[in-house]
Amino acid sequence: MSSPRGGSTLTSFVVGQHSKVANLGEVCFIPKLLSLDEHCTCGAQLNQCSEWGKVFEKLRQTTGVDMRKSPYGLHLDDAMKWPGGTGKVDHQRQTKSRVAIAKYRSAWDTLSLKLPSAIGGGWASLPSAKQGAKNTMALFDAAANHWDADMVVDASKLPRKAVHLYREFPEHVRILHLTRDGRGVSASRMGSMGFAKATERWQHYHQVTKELINKWIAPEHVFSMQYEAFTSNPEQRTKELCQWLGLSYEPKMLEFNTTDIFHSAGGNPTRFKLAEEGIRPTDDRWRSKLSEEEIQQFEATAGPLNRALGYN
């Protein structure tokens, strides 16, 4: 659970280098990636990747749906790519009517999860949300089976989806709440949207995440980590993360080379360069990039939440 530009691509890459973990990328966007012939991190089109092909075949055997032939045949989520953001938009699929339906379901689902437990959050959740969680777990199982993994990483970052997965499979799902200073996130998104909009979206992601974690997730099943702390001391933070997950720390998790082939689907385009660049300090150019007016604007909108997450 995080916001865009929050560091999930690098973090999931590191965890995914463990010998018993498979990093799947942003699972919620797999249907779109298949439909638009987008690429797996290995370089092949996802629908032509031999490794993912074996996963999709296992998934077909359990669900009856071949996502290579029918990308949207298995409902995973209502995740949308917005024109103001990054990444391709599937205009044939993402019609005005479907966007309207997705917005309605999102609003209803968010409300249902915020309602008191006695009157909402259970029976009030839409069947599509529960089915999306079950289908996603079927995909997790197929991937874990193929890659002989004890654990898979899904970097989708969607707060509601994470909660539904946890509620359906509480013994099998763990939540990493990854934060990054909202000023840095908002500044990095200014290339695709205005600063005010970027700030509002950061505030929304983490406010919803904070509320839903407190209500639905057992404290011992959540690990909160600042991305800045991870990049400043990756070995220490990775060891802590492994301990929480019940994994033995492996030094190779922090080793980067250009010979290994990975098969994550979707995510920040930097995933194609991680093997070359490795772990760099968190980008804090916002300190010189943002004007005093923008800093005050952020403070008015998201300052209290940013401080509550540990950023002064």
Of the candidates 51, 1, 10, 6, the one whose C-alpha atom is nearest the C-alpha of residue 28 is 1
- Number of Cβ within 10 Å of residue 298's Cβ equals 24
Cite the beta strand spans of the chain per DSSP E.
Answer: 21-25, 151-154, 175-179, 222-226
Query: In tens digits, what is the pLDDT along the chain, a chain of 312 residues?
Result: 999 899 999 999 999 999 999 999 999 999 999 999 999 999 999 999 999 999 999 999 999 999 999 999 999 988 887 766 667 888 888 899 998 988 888 888 888 888 876 665 556 778 888 999 999 999 999 999 999 999 999 999 999 999 999 999 999 999 999 999 999 999 999 988 899 999 999 999 999 999 999 999 999 999 999 999 999 999 999 999 999 999 999 999 999 887 888 899 987 777 777 777 778 888 899 999 999 999 999 999 999 999 999 998
Name the β-bridge partners of 39: 45
**CA 216, chain centre distance (Å):** 18
Task: Please state the pTM of the whole predicted model.
Answer: 0.92
In the beta sheet, which residues pair with residue 226? 179
| DSSP letter assigned to residue 38 | P
- Using an 8 Å Cβ cutoff, are 85 and 193 in contact? yes
Torsion sign over Cα 67, 73, 74, 78: positive
3-state secondary structure of 39: strand
Q: Are strands 222-226 and 151-154 parallel, antiparallel or unpaired?
A: unpaired
Helix (H) or strand (E) holding 33: helix 30-35
Q: Which two tokens stand for residue 65?
A: 């749906």
What 8-state DSSP symbol labels residue 122?
Answer: S
The answer to whether 262 and 9 have CB atoms below 8 angstroms apart is: no
Spatial CA neighbour of 10 closest among 217, 207, 225? 225
